[in-house]
Amino acid sequence: MWVSKITALRSGGGRRKKVEVFPDGRIALKFEEEIATREGERKKPSGQADDFQRCLNVALTYLNYRPRSEAELRQRLGWRGFSLAVQNTVINKLTKQKLLDDTAFAQFWKDNRETFRPQSQRLTRLELKQKGVADDVIDHAVEEMDDEASAHRAAQSKIRQLAGADYMSFRRRLGGYLQRRGFSSSVISRTLERAWDDQRGRDNPSRPGSQQKER
């Protein structure tokens, strides 16, 4: 059986473009360009598309637990063996869909810490830095954090465990706790006095130096 050789292709005009196929210089048939393109894509190796879908699935699963920074996600995808090109494609898609946003992540992290684990601005800044968030984004997220207020909330979460403790033991244990939360010595000192007064009462006679300023 003799088959004509295709010698040329030409796109026609119009909203739904046609592709004209020329076997040996003669117009043989017309079909929609989008179908031709789709058929051509089907003949391409599927490896790249498969890698993209697998990478996207891994990313979505990772983001499902909690928001992540872009650096965190890149680290996870790299650990799973995805190429930089595939990572970039997935990250661009997630960014456009607002599923990956370092500004929103930094705000989430700060709000979460203030609500469930009050700590210092310095420690929150350090954590965000370790997660690869840019300095200007961190600055914006933590600029309104109040260490005095955060230290007081942190102390309140611990104070019940210190019921019955004497003054020195109270200071040592609560002071160490606040220090681990990243607060400065001056903030800790003021918070300890306030916390002791909250628990024992300002004029508690069991407090050393209750009638005079402690040295």
Q: Is residue 178 part of a domain?
A: yes
List CB contacts of 170: < 8 A, sequence separation 6 or more.
162, 192, 195, 196, 199
**Residue from 163, 112, 126, 202 nearest 174 by CA:** 163
pTM: 0.69
Q: Is residue 170 part of a domain?
A: yes
Number of domains in the chain: 4
Q: Is residue 60 part of a domain?
A: yes
- Given this model, what pLDDT does residue 26 score? 38
Q: Left, alpha or beta for 81 (phi > 0: left; psi -120 to 50: alpha)? A: left
- Given this model, what pLDDT does residue 11 score? 44
Cβ contact 105:111 at 8 Å: no
Q: Is residue 112 part of a domain?
A: yes
Indicate if 137 and 153 belong to the same structural domain: no
Indicate if 195 and 180 belong to the same structural domain: yes
pLDDT in tens, 113-158: 999 999 999 999 999 999 999 999 999 999 999 999 999 999 998 9
Q: Is residue 1 part of a domain?
A: no
- Given this model, what pLDDT does residue 164 score? 85
Indicate if 27 and 69 belong to the same structural domain: no
Q: Is residue 214 part of a domain?
A: no
Q: And the tokens for 178? A: 């606040």
Enclosing domain of residue 167:
147-200
Indicate if 64 and 38 belong to the same structural domain: no
Indicate if 91 and 107 belong to the same structural domain: no
Separation CA 59–CA 12 (nearest Å): 42
**pLDDT, tens digit only, all 215 positions of the chain:** 444 443 343 445 554 444 343 444 433 333 333 333 344 444 444 567 899 999 999 999 999 999 999 999 999 999 999 999 999 999 999 999 999 999 999 999 999 999 999 999 999 999 999 999 999 999 999 999 999 999 999 999 898 889 888 999 999 999 999 999 999 999 999 999 999 988 776 445 455 554 444 43
Q: Is residue 212 part of a domain?
A: no
- Given this model, what pLDDT does residue 157 score? 87
Q: Is residue 125 part of a domain?
A: yes
Q: What is the CATH number of the domain that holds 63?
A: 1.10.10
